[in-house]
Chain A
C-alpha cells in the first residue's frame, strides 16, 4: 500500500473558477473527473498518462472501454462508512483486469486499510488527521482470511492445507497468544 503525500504527488486535478468544466490541455498526470475526461478523451494523445476520479455511484461498467488508456483511477469515499467504492475496486481488478493504480480519496481512515488492500486499492490519501503508523499497524493483525479477495483469489478452503500465505500455525506454535 502506498501512502500518498499530496505535495509530492505528480497527479494534479483540474479546477476552473466556475467548477470543474474548464478547457483542458493534455499534459501528463492530470487527474480528471469523469465528466472532464469525457470532454477530452476523444483527442487525448496516446501515451500521455491520465487518471480519472470516480464518484461511488458511478457504474464501473461504463469505464471498462477506457481502462487501457487510464493510469490511475481514484475512488472517492464521501463518508468512510459508505462501502460502495470497495465493490467498484473489486470489479475493476477482478472483472475488468485494471492494472493501473487504484487510489482511495475522501474520508479515508486508518481502520479501512485492510478492506482497501483486499479489494484492490494500492494507494491511499489518508484524511489529514490520520496516523500513518496506525494505518500500517492496521494491516498487520491478520495473517490470513477465510474468503478470497483481489490479492488472493482463492478462499482458504481452495488453498493447499500447508499454504504459507497465512502464518497462523507457525505463530501459534511459536507460543504467541494475543
Chain B
C-alpha cells in the first residue's frame, strides 16, 4: 500500500502550482509525512464511525494542513499534557528540545523517534489541536498546522 507517497506527490504538485517555494514546500510536506505516519502508527482502526482525514487549504497567505483521526479517550490526557507543554515553550525551547530528543533519546516502541508532533509544533507558524468526544470510549483528534507563505518566501 503506497498511499502516502501518492499523497505526497499530489500535494507537491499542488504546492508547485501555488508557486510555493522549496523551503516552505519542504516544511509542509515534512509535516504531512509526520502527521500521516502518526495516524498510521497510532490511530485506532476498528472504529467504524470516524475515519482519518487529511485536508490542505489555502486562505490568503496561510496554508493550513489539518490531520484528524479517531483515538481511544484514554489517550486524551497524555496528548493534552504533552501538547500543552510544547505550546508553553518558546520556538527556541522547542527547537532545543527537538535536538535533545534527537541526540539523546531512544527509539519508541513503534520504531519512531518520538519527534513527530514536536517537529510540527516547532516548524509550523501556527499550531492548534482539538480532541472531540465521539462516545464514552472514543474521541476525534485533530491537529491543524498553519504556514505563512509570505514569511517563508
Partners in one complex: no
